[in-house]
Structure 1
């Protein structure tokens, strides 16, 4: 009996050491990849968060401002850009689960006046078309924004966007919606649309009779315990907002201007809060399961859920969910990989031609080497 107890104790110790070794190796891997990443041209800081089988790994690297030794930390607030859309999709999935919303509904049902232009022939735009970027709506309203963004890397682009959206509110958006022309049958052609995500926020306001920002904040606080994720910041919170750089401009760029409802790209968050979001997504509760349902399958490898890009092309990772976020002074990615109970968030306070490529290469290297660590433990 004594020998059996000693054997159990020995095996338990070996297991604990193996787990400890695995944890240390993963953190060393993340540190190594990140420290090489910030040596790339223009990218001088990054924050990375990994959730793996319930364990959390967070790392902050480099300097937010070159030469100032101001490394980001857990209190740094980042602009997460279009990852904001996944939150709008989650709230839409919640409304569906609560039977408050049917994604087969025509959007006209929720609009304050008649929009005969929001259809192609007799084919109207449905809510599911907004969620899957197949509505045929333009990326941005007002329409001039799309012309400006064609030259995204131009140093004058952020200032032009700032000027365009100065005092641009919800009434202006609904007015400009009349100017849209749908040139293809909704539901088939992928065409990325921030306009569509703003309309989802507007529809959710009608469904819940609550302003979108409050609806979002209440959900994040009560359901996910995300206390530091929001659309608008207080004066005190603004002091913690990461500075950032656009293209190859060495001058600090102003924050993304406020868009109506803020659902397309105005959310801000901290890395610990994004860890909570990843964990929520990996729980696969009924809201998450609904939001991950493919709405449109474009190919065997790619489909769209409630604003989530669904990738089935990687045999090793299995089906996973991904979204990129970008504003003129930061870019980021979020990955949800259920097969391995794995999720990741990576962000840099630089937004240029190669930022997304550099970040995706870094995360792919981490994922690839994590599987080797798992095998060797």
Structure 2
């Protein structure tokens, strides 16, 4: 792994947690707030107008109520230049909503007896991950899944060295130029999960720095960490003897018949994949990231509807499709009893899921993709939103948040109408 010196330009790059926030600022979007949504046709009309009058290229939504998918539609374009419609079969990356699959994998691995939440990670890793600022601190599985491990993302390193443009992609484009020259992303082959994480967390690694670690004991402070999530995936690889993507496929995707979903970008027919956009005139080349468990699930609206339905049933204690009811409870319940997450934290956790305002949820964004998934804590309903709209660059986050709050309001009105 080469060592290069890069400077990240002052673009505003949001992380997944920013996408859970709400805004009522229309930011110049001309569509009115939803009103009088009484049925599917009304919701179709509203969301269709929303896509036509905003900066979102394409959008897909699945809504679950009770034991049924009550709405599943797609709007706009997977490829604007080719006028290719976004459909329920369009493949879209889901960014940090991928972390919910890491959570499910952890719940399954615990149920299979590979480790517990109290297991020290260096008892099961083939490499020792030590925080040099807290050398006597003991990092446990529970710290990884609640973002309290003290293992940090350094944004310049995380973006420029983890992300990479696939070798066969055309880089003579404005989108490629933006990623390569503004952010510092290379065009190259992928590194293995072990290679990348070793370079970042081991003292002799090319990407090692004291900045990769917090000067706080494990469990005492919260800091959202993509790379700690990637490390969780590597732990599952280590204890199961399978690649993380194969483990998820066997234990989560196949039982739910999510046959169009994968972590392996090489399995994807790129003709069926939504183009990712910075704006309507700037598509991006296909890129991947080495720490793939935390942000590189590729899926469809059809498949995410199946996943959402199972999660809604699971939170009610009415599913054993993936694991026992106790494991579903572990997946969603805030880990507060043992002090893992102090009561005054803004976000309470299950296994990577957040509990906030009566919902369990996770949002995500990456370059040219923004997503959101949430479920009522009672398990009565939930929805998934997938878009090929950017919320990473300066000015784009507010546009996406405006779209998201309008979608959420429309869905709320729809669910009330079909009671």
In which range does the TM-score fall when normalised by the shorter chain?
Answer: 0.7 to 0.9
**Corresponding residue for 2:45?**
32
TM-score, length-scaled by structure 2: 0.73
CA contact (8 A) 1:85 1:197 kept: yes
Q: Deviations over 1:125-147 (max 9, x none)?
A: 21111101111212268x62358
Q: 2:261 aligns with which of 217, 229, 237?
A: 229
**Corresponding residue for 2:125?**
111
Alpha-carbon distance between aligned partners in 1 of 2:188 and 2:360, rounded to the nearest angstrom: 31
CA contact (8 A) 2:190 2:290 kept: no
**Corresponding residue for 1:306?**
351
Q: Deviations over 1:283-303 (max 9, x none)?
A: 214232221121225538730
Unaligned runs of 5+ in 2: 1-36, 163-174, 203-207, 320-324, 336-340, 392-396
**Corresponding residue for 2:109?**
95
Q: Residue 325 of structure 1 aligns to a residue in which SS?
A: strand
**Corresponding residue for 2:186?**
163
Matched, 1:361 2:401: no
Matched, 1:333 2:372: yes
CA contact (8 A) 1:337 1:343 kept: yes
Matched, 1:219 2:239: no
Cα distance, 1:60–1:270 mapped onto 2, change above 3 Å: same
Q: Residue 38 of structure 1 aligns to a residue in which SS?
A: helix
Alpha-carbon distance between aligned partners in 2 of 1:298 and 1:220, rounded to the nearest angstrom: 31
Q: How many residues align?
A: 339
**Corresponding residue for 2:215?**
183
Structure 2 counterparts to residues 37-76 of structure 1, below 5 A: 37-56=50-69, 57-66=71-80, 68-76=82-90
CA contact (8 A) 1:140 1:193 kept: no
Alpha-carbon distance between aligned partners in 1 of 2:267 and 2:139, rounded to the nearest angstrom: 40
Q: Deviations over 1:131-180 (max 9, x none)?
A: 01111212268x6235899xxxx985533454187543322321321223
Unaligned runs of 5+ in 1: 1-23, 314-318
In terms of fraction of residues, the more helix-rich structure is 1
Structure number, greater radius of gyration? 1
**Corresponding residue for 2:388?**
349
Calculate the aligned-residue CA RMSD, in Å: 2.8
Alpha-carbon distance between aligned partners in 2 of 1:209 and 1:269, rounded to the nearest angstrom: 25
Matched, 1:283 2:328: no
Q: 1:256 aligns with which of 287, 312, 316?
A: 287
TM-score, length-scaled by structure 1: 0.81
**Corresponding residue for 1:294?**
334
Cα distance, 1:69–1:264 mapped onto 2, change above 3 Å: same
Alpha-carbon distance between aligned partners in 2 of 1:325 and 1:161, rounded to the nearest angstrom: 22
Q: Residue 323 of structure 1 aligns to a residue in which SS?
A: strand
Alpha-carbon distance between aligned partners in 2 of 1:156 and 1:47, rounded to the nearest angstrom: 28
